[in-house]
Amino acid sequence: MDRETGLNLALLGVMLAIPLWAMAADEPFLVTLTTRAVIFAIAGIGLNVALGFGGLVSFGHAAFFGVGGYAMGILASHAQGYMPLIEWPILVEGTKSMPVIWLTAICASALTAFAIGALSLRTAGVYFIMITLAFAQMLYYFAISWPAYGGEDGLSIYLRNAFPGLNTMDPIQFFAICYALLLAVLFLVARAARAPFGLMLNAARQNEDRVQAVGQTPYRLYLVAFTISGAITGLAGALFADLNRFVSPSMFSWQTSGEIMVFVILGGVGRVFGPVAGAALFVLLEHVLGGVSDYWHIYLGAILLAVVLYARGGIFGILTGRDTANG
Amino acid sequence: MADPILDVRGVSKSFGAVTACRDIDLDVRPGEIHALIGPNGAGKSTLIKQVAGGLAPDSGRVFFDGQDVTGLPTAARARLGMGRTFQISSLAMEFTVLQNAVLGALGHRGGVFRFFRPAMKDAGLLARAREALDQVGLAEFEALRTSELSHGQRRQLEVAVALTLEPKVFLMDEPMAGLGAEGSHRLMAFLDSLRHKAPILLVEHDMDAVFTLADRVSVLVYGEIIATGTVDEIRANEQVRSAYLGDEALP
């Protein structure tokens, strides 16, 4: 087992130990805080598929986070109001079932990512950053001006959605659900990163000419990566909405896109576990520095600057002494 | 005479007022090494790009294996069987040598959109990649990161990746550049044997190599092919001597 694998396991161990200890010590707030980190980690893992493996600097992942959140909000609000979603030609009711909501969130955000990606990926560099930002902002203003689902005020869901056999209102049980999903996403992304798709995508990030010369089309690889990336971030959005029992247009805001990007950069771009470390550090800083000063983002900014300037591999780069995850 | 595998007919390309290629005819036949020589700025790289993809000619057509490929993207041409090596090494620098070779084998085999089983544990891909590395003499370096390779070794790896594609024609843009005398001779011996597997369009500055290896030579000067012929014909050609080679004695 190499050092990086050890670090990965240690990180997962700590993220499991904190809420277990917190529950024993009767500190439910810490459980919720860790759950928040776990959900952010999933969102970051999603962005990392595009940004880390494909080199696609998306500044619009809030779009998928928000679509996931609103998928939950819309389904659950119809269910709690006993209002069918669609009556004709077929009757579609809202639902409070988490698995159904996750599936809807994943499909909706994957479709959104496919559409945004198909257009945005015709550009590159700064234009790609700007166009993804523009799409996310479009959705943000759409959510604000859509009165049916709360508009600017957002949507409150009174009870967390249901998972068969569990009491999701119990913080530790909801944590367990999110943690299990984190493990599943990590496993699948780690496999995909080493599979033919991951190898070719990684090569496209390094050298598009090379990929074309071996007969493959970078655009297709990027589009599939961007779609998967959006789907994972969408799942995180649905979980985040359930954590807060609240959905608001701020999930679509560019600050959200920026924060997801911070998880990836802090942790280590292109490493499967990087965003987990980044999200954990972000939530820790938010909690600790947020207690010190309302202007804690200044400190976060300074740390981010230091990472970008002196530690390109993020926390994982510092701890493993390697800049990139390859080789 | 055998039908050409690659046939460039009347290709022209201008950039603004500069004509990079003017009405170029060029073909590559089975079993031959066709060398393309010319001074710097003659338009060799522009021509290669129009053959391999990435640059559309203003007029003229490119036929490959009996098919008009003029409008096809680079990737489609590669899948049809064009094995290209680049003038400036174009490899995935963060990958190991073996990973780069596997990339070629994978691109050729297809099935890129598989998400579960590790590519680097695929016995079929590994076997093909290792065979190619062995052929160019890089087998012992397979675990090295590509960025740690010498300039010459990167050239060899370019050729190895092209081999994994099992192409119908090789398009090699200065494969000898940066190779030492020994490396140069090894690669020459290898290319010599390679022509029977697939013909080679060879862009090369090393005149020794060109005149030793080539079955035919085309001379490109200011975007025009001024002569095509056997090595002896090119040596004897007055126009080539004055326009390109000066009055120096040819090897």
Joined tokens for residue B201: 């369009």
Tokens 């338009």 -> residue: B43
Q: Do B177 and B241 share a domain, yes or no?
A: yes
Q: Which residue of A has its CA nearest to B104?
A: A214
B249 and B222 housed in the same domain: yes
Q: What pLDDT shows up at residue A236? A: 98
pLDDT at A90: 87
What confidence tens digit (pLDDT) does each residue in B68-112 have? 999 999 999 999 999 999 988 899 999 999 999 999 999 999 999
| B131 is a domain residue | yes
Distance CA B170, CA B187 (A): 14
Taking each continuous run of H as one helix and of E as one strand, the counts in chain B are 9, 10
AA letter at A8: N
Same domain, B162 and B173: no
The residue ranking higher by pLDDT, A190 or B38, is A190
pLDDT above 80 (res B244): no
Contacts of A69 (CB under 8 A, 6+ apart): A105, A237, A238, A240, A241, A247, A251
Gyration radius of chain A over CA positions: 19
Min Cα distance B194 → chain A (Å) is 19
In chain A, which residues touch B (CB < 8 A)? 188, 191-192, 194-200, 202-203, 206-207, 209-217, 221, 224, 324, 326-327
Identify whether residues B153 and B186 lie together within a single domain. Answer: no
Same domain? For B102 and B70 the reply is no
Distance, in Å, from the CA atom of A51 to the CA atom of A284, rounded to the nearest integer, reads 23
The confidence score (pLDDT) of residue A319 equals 84
- Which residues are registered as beta bridge partners of B171? B84, B201
| Per-residue pLDDT, A327 | 38
Size of interface A-B (CB pairs under 8 A): 112
Percentage of the residues of chain B whose pLDDT score is greater than 90: 70
Domain of residue B73: give its range.
1-81+167-251
The answer on B16 and B140 residing in a single domain is no
Residue that is last in its domain, among B134, B166, B198? B166
Q: What does the pLDDT look like over A112-126, one tens digit per residue?
A: 999 999 999 999 999
What local confidence, expressed as pLDDT, does residue B177 receive? 81
Residue B241 and residue B217 in one domain: yes
Same domain, B179 and B101: no
Alpha helices in A164-313 (DSSP H): 171-194, 196-206, 208-213, 218-244, 254-267, 274-292, 297-310
Q: What one-character-per-residue DSSP string does B205-226 give?
A: S-HHHHHHH-SEEEEEETTEEE
Give the pLDDT confidence of B213-232 residue by residue, as tens digits.
Answer: 999 999 998 899 999 999 99
**Domain-terminating residue out of B166, B187, B210:** B166
**pLDDT greater than 50 at residue B155:** yes
A238: amino acid identity, one letter: A
**Domains of chain A by range and CATH?**
3-320 (1.10.3470)
CA angle A80, A86, A91 (to 5 degrees): 95
Task: Tell me whether residues B94 and A188 touch, CB distance under 8 A.
Answer: no
Residue B86 included in any domain: no
Look at residue B151 in the predicted model and tell me its pLDDT.
86
| Counted domains in chain B | 2
Interface of B with A (CB under 8 A): 52-54, 73-76, 78-79, 84, 86, 90-96, 99-100, 102-104, 106-108, 111-120, 122, 145, 161-162, 164-165
Cβ–Cβ gap B95/A192 under 8 Å: no
Percent of chain A with pLDDT over 70: 98
> Is residue B248 over pLDDT 60?
no
| B157 and B174 both lie in a single domain | no
Do the chains contact at B90 and A210, CB–CB below 8 Å? yes
- Nearest chain B Cα to A212, which residue? B75
Q: Are residues B172 and B250 in the same domain?
A: yes
In a domain, residue B149? The reply is yes
Helical H segments across B17-122, by residue range = 44-52, 74-80, 97-109
Q: Which residues of chain A have pLDDT under 70?
A: 1, 322-327
In this structure, what CATH number is given to the domain that contains residue B237?
A: 3.40.50.300
Given B139, B166, B193, the domain boundary residue is B166
With contact defined as beta carbons under 8 Å apart, do A203 and B95 qualify?
yes
Same domain (yes/no): B174, B72: yes
Q: What is the 3-state secondary structure (H, E, C) of A219-258?
A: HHHHHHHHHHHHHHHHHHHHHHHHHHCEECHHHHCHHHHH
In a domain, residue B102? The reply is yes
Contact B95 A326 (CB under 8 A): yes
B157 within a domain of the structure (yes/no): yes
pLDDT of residue B246: 58
Which residues are CB-contacts of A120 (< 8 A; sequence separation ≥ 6)? A58, A60, A128, A131, A132, A135, A226
Helix (H, G, I), strand (E, B) or coil at B112: coil
The pLDDT score that the predictor gives to residue A45 is: 98
| Tokens (6 digits) for B123 | 């016995």
Is B55 inside any structural domain? Answer: yes
Q: Which amino acid is at A268?
A: G
With residues binned 3-state (H G I as helix, E B as strand, rest as coil), the percentages for chain A, rounded to 5, are: 75, 5, 25
| Complex-level ipTM | 0.92
Residues B112 and B76 in one domain: no
Cis preceding-peptide flag for A89 (omega within 30 of 0) = yes
> CB–CB of B78 and A213 under 8 A?
yes
